[in-house]
Amino acid sequence: MSNHPRHLIDVDDLDDSAIETLLERACELASGAAPAHVAASVVNLFAEPSTRTRVSFELAARRLGMDVVNVDSAGSSAVKGESLADTLATVSAMGVDVVVMRQSGNGRMRELLDVPGSRPSLVNAGEGSVSHPSQALLDAATLKARGIEFSGLRVAIVGDVAHSRVAASGLRLWPRLGVSDIRVAGPTDLLPPEAPAGVEVCRDLDRAVADADVVMMLRVQRERIDQDQWPDPGDYFARWGLTRDHLEKAAPGCVVMHPGPINRGVEIDADVADGPQSLILDQVRMGVFMRMAIFEWVLGLPRSRRDAT
């Protein structure tokens, strides 16, 4: 393993070759390649609820033979006032190799890279509304595993884009993979004030879905919105909920994605979520393989060593 820890705070930390390595490795593992055996330890430090991400990081670590400890904020010394930096220094002193971290605030993870003497690799498992790189990567791997080419792909991202860390990381990743037609759509107050360059803002769902190859639906992140601003679920579904009728306007073979958790009858009709075009559970499955690939990458496991296992 490398002496210098690698970190994954966002997709910007990855050069093109690292992105390719992670996508390829996740697809290899999903196709049945033997996982490496890694003598390393990981602490999953989650300060926000999670089902998919927390479970898949734990399963990924166990499949690689790593020691895993799960800590949620209610059960940690954070409730006694310990800072995140001191928590990190504490687990670092115990010789932990990787800390997987979910945080509600924006921008704090990168500051932790400066904690003196800290040695674990930091892996972002979702940070506020700004980044969720492992989800963006597993979404891309889900498409790659199906043989879908990124070049020329038309991707529509619909819903609460403003508060979605998945959308934020995705909007940084998709262009780097060669996706050139990206649209976002949703209620005006749930769209970012400024769309990234080259991203089309659509004011209705039909326009966003028209000829799209991939439609990625997002839930309304109520935990990041004042309660008096929450949209009425029925009204929201009438305007922004994805139904089979909308999908008629998409490109033939269009696939539907959603990072979860899904809210049936709010942003997506149950018929679509469970339908033949839905990749929602494929994304969940790929999550384990992508997180295995991420552990291998942050630990600097060389290909030769992986292949030898």
Give the footprint of ligand CP on this chain (CB under 6 A): 50-53, 126, 135, 259-261
Residue (of 135, 122, 139) closest to 27 by Cα position? 139
Please, what is the minimum distance in Å from the beta carbon of residue 53 to ligand CP? 3
Please, what is the minimum distance in Å from the beta carbon of residue 164 to ligand CP? 10
Please, what is the minimum distance in Å from the beta carbon of residue 287 to ligand CP? 8
Please, what is the minimum distance in Å from the beta carbon of residue 51 to ligand CP? 4
Nearer to ligand CP, 36 or 57 (CB): 57
Nearer to ligand CP, 139 or 269 (CB): 139
Rounded-to-integer distance, Cα 108 and Cα 218, Å? 24
Nearer to ligand CP, 92 or 278 (CB): 278
3-class secondary structure per residue, the chain: CCCCCCCECCHHHCCHHHHHHHHHHHHHHHCCCCCCCCCCEEEEEECCCCCHHHHHHHHHHHHCCCEEEEEEHHHCHHHHCCCHHHHHHHHHHCCCCEEEEEECCCCHHHHHCCCCCCCCEEEEEEECCCECHHHHHHHHHHHHHCCCCCCCCEEEEECCCCCCHHHHHHHHHHHHCCCCEEEEECCHHHCCCCCCCCEEEECCHHHHHCCCCEEEECCCCHHHCCHHHCCCHHHHHHHHCECHHHHCCCCCCCEEECCCCCCECCCECHHHHCCCCECHHHHHHHHHHHHHHHHHHHCCCCHHHHHHC
Nearer to ligand CP, 125 or 301 (CB): 125
Nearer to ligand CP, 131 or 135 (CB): 135
Nearer to ligand CP, 8 or 202 (CB): 8
Residue (of 143, 192, 122, 187) closest to 164 by Cα position? 192
Nearer to ligand CP, 46 or 237 (CB): 46
Please, what is the minimum distance in Å from the beta carbon of residue 254 to ligand CP? 21
Please, what is the minimum distance in Å from the beta carbon of residue 48 to ligand CP? 7
Please, what is the minimum distance in Å from the beta carbon of residue 160 to ligand CP? 13
